[in-house]
Amino acid sequence: MKNNYLYREKKIMTMKTVTEMTGLSERQIRYYETQKLIFPERTCSGTRRYSFSDIERLMDIAEKIEDGVLTREIRDDLYKRRKKVLIQETKRL
Amino acid sequence: MKNNYLYREKKIMTMKTVTEMTGLSERQIRYYETQKLIFPERTCSGTRRYSFSDIERLMDIAEKIEDGVLTREIRDDLYKRRKKVLIQETKRL
DNA sequence: CGTGTAAGGAATTCTGACACG
DNA sequence: CGTGTAAGGAATTCTGACACG
């Protein structure tokens, strides 16, 4: 459903809400951003905005880190997956 | 879908995001709250939190007010609709 | 009635840095 | 490496009030 997608992907939450929903600290959330694991939008004045999808991704990241996975491994995995998707899309054309 | 409901009804947005999404002023949004047309949650520190559902409701309210409908008429309509739902639920028992 | 605005305080967010390890 | 924290400034939010009509 298109509406469902809009709700899930729209970047609308501020940091506070995200810490409440994920249980992570601001520090952790900002650090994962510097490591290119998460990509919030910014308002014109510079405050971050997250989506429900980001929340889910953050909880996934947190779980992996607890299991001892390094942020760069998580990032490499993310890039590999993206590459795969791009290759498949290229083949389709 | 249960997930869809969660995204739509969860109170997660702050005032700024709501003004951006609805085009309404903070003043208008707070006023509609005093008139019991909209019911944001509050964090422990007192800041309001709105859901996607609230956004849609606010845009509906704004449209009615532009058409000259009074806030108390909108509220009375809301109460009537709720009463109707309650009566139907009562009958079902 | 519905909305704008200035006022002043409180809560939020941001960045860059020091710390530990 | 991943996270905590104190620092200081900027942006956000809140309430109660005055204003217009």
pLDDT at A92: 87
3-class SS of residue B11: coil
Total count of domains within chain B: 1
Distance from residue B73 (CA) to nucleotide D9 (C1'), in Å? 46
Closest in A3, A8, A13 to B12, CB measured: A13
pLDDT at B2: 55
Identify the CATH number of the domain in which residue B66 sits: 1.10.1660.10
> At residue B34, what is the residue type?
T
pLDDT digits (tens, 9 = 90+) for B29-78: 999 999 999 999 999 999 999 999 999 999 999 999 999 999 999 999 99
Query: Do A7 and B8 count as a contact with CB atoms less than 8 A apart?
Result: yes
Q: Exposure pattern of B50-83 as b/e (b: 16+ CB <10 Å)?
A: bbbebbebbeebbebbeeeeebeebeeeeeeeee
Determine the structural domain holding residue A57 and report its residue range.
2-92
What DSSP element (H or E) covers A42?
Answer: strand A41-42
